[in-house]
Amino acid sequence: MRTRISGTGVAFPKRAVSNAELSKRLGLSKEEIVKLTGIHTRYWVGEGETAATLAVNAAKSALEAAACPIDQIDLIIVSTTSPNMFFPSTACLVQRDLSARPIPAFDINASCTGFLYALSLGNNAIQTGSASHVLIISTEVKSPFLDLDDPSTSILFGDGAGAVVLSPGQEGIRTIRLFSDGSRHQLIQLPAGGSRQPATHDSLHQGLHTMKMEGKVLFRMAVKKMESALTSLSEECALPLSDIDFFIFHQANLRILEALLKRKKIPMNKTEITIPRFGNTSSSSLPVALDSAVRQGRLKSGDKLVLCAFGGGMTWGIALLDW
């Protein structure tokens, strides 16, 4: 018995932010933003919209798709780098708002690789028998932490949530491999706000509560680490990449995806591209792209599916599933 994804769902804020809206402030044309990132629109939260509200809506959609009542869920794991607050966890707020039983619910933070980390934990829970059905949610609200005068981040990130329900099945997860390298933590970070550097007037004045990113280095590392993960997976499973039916990658930047696909000779029609519509939604991007592929009927029963991501920390990971 394996662990299968029995349902997927997504949720986005109401406000769509176009390149035209950002270009006025940044001095970049709409065409230049597309050339740099491949992004045309992204969604940012407004009043009353939070990581928790997006998570709840994505969860409801996934539960409906899985035909799984909330009282059958035995564990809730939320991946987020932008929780509603430091504590209590966003997962506890989701558990409350879904009217779930008093089951375990907790957050994890593995940046853009967080969905794969959560997927691994959910898989372990089912395989060890501690849970029959697991709700995994990635929810990210990065817009409040963007310096709108910094084009390296403000044009990239969008808000959104993606969720999956995990259940026992004859097909499903074959393997998940996770990695990290904390020596590269400075490549993308939110410097202040934690116990190392609590919020002060000075930290606010210095802009240390907005995201900082070394874009060019991060670009190269993302391609390198995901390429390495693909090669290792292929060798470990004795499975040529050409035999894999479908790939879903973290939607960080369209140019990263294009470089990776070219280097590994993966055809564009074997992957799902959602970044033009939603931007980089951090750990939510994998389940968002997965939901898009599922609802378009692009994944068929028995397909060999690879999920691969790279994120801050640094973290990266890869999973192989039989759909």
Residues taking part in catalysis: 112, 250, 280
Cα gap 209→191, rounded to integer Å: 6
Backbone φ, ψ for residue 111 (5° rounding)? 55, -140
CB crowding 115-153: b at 16 or more within 10 Å, else e = bbbbbbbbbebbeeeebebbbbbbbbbbbeebeeeebbb
Q: Which of these, 124, 302, 317, 118, lies nearest to 233 by C-alpha position?
A: 317
CA dihedral 296, 297, 303, 307 (to 10 degrees): 20
99 Cβ neighbours under 8 A, 6+ residues apart: 70
CA angle (308 as vertex; 168, 264 as ends), nearest 5 = 130
- The partner residues of 309 in beta bridges, in order of sequence, read 317
DSSP 314: T
Six token digits for residue 269 = 């029609």
Chain mean position to CA 300? 22
